[in-house]
A and B are shown apart, each in its own frame.
Chain A
């Protein structure tokens, strides 16, 4: 009792200051900053000392030096005499290529499997379920190894081939070969026509939307756009005198055995590393996308379907105008994060030596020892990709969010 009296009369200010959440908060944050600065300072100091001891000059100068190693697949001209900077750029482009192709196929497979999972047909829905569970529960790296070492090693050797698709695509151990478009003079007009068609479709869709809002009359936007996008370049192609032809790969199966096989640099060639990586990424990510699609469609309550039928809409318009727009609102955010996952997972290319950003970076790192710079480049690029994606996602979420009163 006496203690309490003394408390209230004696030093109330101090006691309350100690227990004041604001003061405590500031204290904890100051401690946090101090610890972070101390740790950071020590890291910088240690790193500088370690680099000096290993005779590694930090800085970006090494990017100018000659790389001296070849890269088996490159979208831009690259040779052994190119610089490290160019090598990294080639790797970055390869990462983007794998990501884009992978995302394309993963989306298609994912949507098909996700819808199949909801099918009334027992066999189909079970098949989709087995696909999802099998693929989701086996590590991606193991799947990449499986496609690369087990599947693509079982295809015919260099001197033989498997042909399919009207004999225009060929698969053997050196990769997938197919016809390559050769652009001649004037072919840029086709690209211009395509661009015009896309812009026109966009404008028409805006106009049709406005007209429908004003008058209620509908316009077949989809078919018009499809006709424009396919038709206009096609017409240009014939009008300008067919300034493009396909270069088919040449397969030599006569003469000395050593010369047999596909001729180099005729037609396009996708290396097996690319095929294995893209297949594994697409199939793996598709399993996750399928689950997202299923959840998205199931999230639209059955009442919506019933209400739509009650309004007199048939099955097709119900799906197109009522179910899918609402399901997309649920599907798109996790879908973007799966796309991002696929892009990040493409870094597993290093395990089968496909020259992506991480793989090429690893080679550069081994040659130069510039660990901090290389890892910095990796992280900066992947972080930028992920920040851009999440910015897009936030924008989309805001646009699509239900406006509640």
Chain B
């Protein structure tokens, strides 16, 4: 009997069939993510309904019913009894106030230059691939603040003899220390240069800064009470951010110091500021600080608020940085010491670059918090962006039922753009800097 073939060998590959329609493309995605079960379907429907109830009135208000142009309130009044939409014409009319406050109109170009310089220096600093990082950072942190100060206030600050004496004292201490080290301490000149550079150098920098702000550039003086709107918001936020980072690092190092008194002082400082609400800090800086100063010495209100905000956020920054310092393995410290580095070089070259990299998300979160908290200054009578918007509601020219909603919506959009931008940027940087730890 001939064997019957009961098996078959396929010599060619079977044609690849496309996946079932129900598992691919839009339909497959929807089946998997939206309608995988009865419960899931119900959730999807509820979710879509909630989204619709939220988004539809918003679009109706902000776009469809909105009034884009107009001269005064009559343009934005509800037509024949219906609901009125957003009154963007009012925001347009008030835009200069929201951006500059009551800064004199003919001097507004100075604020514009500051804004432009800020953007011009910040953008290349924020792009990792842009060249000249060091120069850029020096310009942004070391030069820009004083240029901005002179432009915004008008400069021409009279510096008292006491201040100059203080600068001279710093230089004198440096020279005395160098002399002491060379004579008694038995060092040669190069051994004494660190003290010389440290003290005399900082005295020289101080002298240059003081000289710069005291020069009369012919700019008219603009007092800080007329500043307002976005200008005040940005001044407080940027100053607070720039000043609180070094202070926070110093406090974090102090809290981990081996010197008991330094540690105790840092702990008390940090816990005190973290334990009280910012409002009380602002009240303190606006009501209590003047009591602390000798008679006749007055501080600008904006400056007092800046001091309060800086100290407050420095305490939060210190805790964030401390987290980073704690995460650095002990071997890094020991390795640095074995290389013969002293405390500051060790911190500057080995520890801080690693620690700060670890806590970038925390630092940015503190920045975002600080940026949002700038709105609180309106409670102590300053006009930041929100304060300026709030105060514009008293103007009868634009008083309509939708004015409040429009104003708050505008403020919310501005704050959201800044804060969301910062948080996205922090995620981007986190990924960018996440080197060497990934396996």
Contact = CB atoms under 8 A, between A and B. Distances in A.
A347 interface: yes
B415 A371 contact: no
Contacts of A53: 295
Contacts of B44: 121, 123-124
Interface residues on A, range: 35 or more
A18 B181 contact: yes
A348 B47 contact: no
A358 B280 contact: yes
Contacts of B405: 150
Nearest to A134: B416
A387 to B, nearest CB: 7
Contacts of A124: 43-44, 47
Interface residues on B, range: 35 or more
Interface string B386-423: 10001000000000000011001001100110011001
A344 interface: yes
B293 interface: yes
Contact of A123 (B47, B184, B287, B372): B47
Nearest to B180: A18
B303 to A, nearest CB: 17
Main secondary structure of the interface of B (DSSP, over half): helix
A120 B33 contact: yes
Which among A14, A53, A121, A378 has the greatest number of chain B C-beta atoms within 10 A? A121
Interface string B290-305: 1111110000000000
Interface in B37-95: 40, 43-44, 47-48, 50-51
Interface stretch (B154-162, B218-226, B239-247, B271-279): B271-279
B98 to A, nearest CB: 14
Interface stretch (A5-13, A211-219, A233-241, A312-320): A5-13
A126 B260 CA distance: 50
A244 interface: no
A43 interface: yes
A77 to B, nearest CB: 27
A53 B294 CA distance: 12
Nearest to A50: B291
Given A6-B186, A43-B292, A121-B33, A25 B259 contact: yes
A139 B291 contact: no
B291 A47 contact: yes
Given A134-B416, A142-B415, A375-B283, A382 B262 contact: no
Given A32-B261, A49-B295, A372-B288, A378 B416 contact: no
9 contacts: A15-B187, A29-B262, A42-B294, A139-B373, A141-B375, A145-B390, A153-B404, A347-B280, A375-B280
Given A15-B185, A139-B386, 15 more contacts: A28-B259, A29-B262, A32-B261, A32-B262, A42-B294, A120-B36, A121-B44, A139-B375, A140-B372, A141-B386, A142-B386, A145-B408, A344-B276, A375-B287, A387-B271
Interface of B: 33-34, 36, 40, 43-44, 47-48, 50-51, 181, 184-188, 258-262, 265, 271-272, 274-280, 283-284, 287-288, 290-295, 368, 372-373, 375-376, 378-379, 386, 390, 404-405, 408, 411-412, 415-416, 419-420, 423
